Amino acid sequence: MLFSLATMARGTTIKEANYLKPNIMAELITSGKNQGRSSLKKLPVRIDLTAMVDLAFLLITFFILTTSLQQHHAMQLAMPVGTNEGPVPASRTMTVCLGKNNQVLWYLGLADKPLARPQIVNYSKTGLRAALINTADAVQKATGKSMIVILKPSAHSMYDNLVNTIDELNITNVPSYAIADISTKDIGMLKQQGAY
């Protein structure tokens, strides 16, 4: 009030006196209803995650580029040496034909003149495994050399049969074996035994 009277005494108007008043920055208004609480709304906190996402992608990229991936393991492949030993005698050759319903036909020698009668066996210990062990022993005693096995899967055999046969060859320690196409004579023998 003193400010207004002093300015009016100097010859200023009331309008000019209001203009010269200092501006109020904040004002406290008290009411009887909410004396202990503030009436301001609480806004949700917003956190900017852009920098953290950038850092995460940089770390992922760094670890992907610097980590060594698992090396591929290749099977060892034994290739034949360039010398040709000539034909293998039929007395050392056992042929194993894979038929349907987990049946195996085996014979020793050639399909035209087998040295042992063709027999049908299964994949049990008393089946193919026993035939491989007994035939390998017989060939070793007769020739002094190891037996050679020729695997011939038929169109009606399953891939699992071939894997099981190779497993049996590894179990019985047969050093030499080969996989060949089945001939029409072998198919005829499988049909005679009811395994084709």
Domains, in order of start, for the chain: 90-193 (3.30.420)
Read off the DSSP letter of residue 150: E
What tens digit of pLDDT does each residue of 88-106 get? 788 889 999 999 888 999 9
* pLDDT score of 178 more than 80: yes
Q: How many CB atoms lie within 10 A of CB 93?
A: 20
What's the Cα-to-Cα distance from 165 to each of 49, 102, 129, 188, rounded to whole Å?
60, 10, 9, 21
Smallest CA-to-CA distance from 149 within 81, 83, 79, 98 is with 98
DSSP secondary structure code for residue 4 in this structure? H
pLDDT at site 25? 45
Farthest-apart Cα atoms in the chain, separation:
144
The 10 Å Cβ neighbour count of residue 131 is: 20
Among 175, 115, 114, which Cα is nearest to 142's? Answer: 115
80-92 tens-digit pLDDT: 676 666 677 888 8
In the structure encoding, which two tokens stand for residue 25, read together?
């920055």
Q: In this model, does residue 9 exceed pLDDT 60?
A: no
Q: What is the mean pLDDT of residues 14-43?
A: 57
CA distance 12 to 139: 135
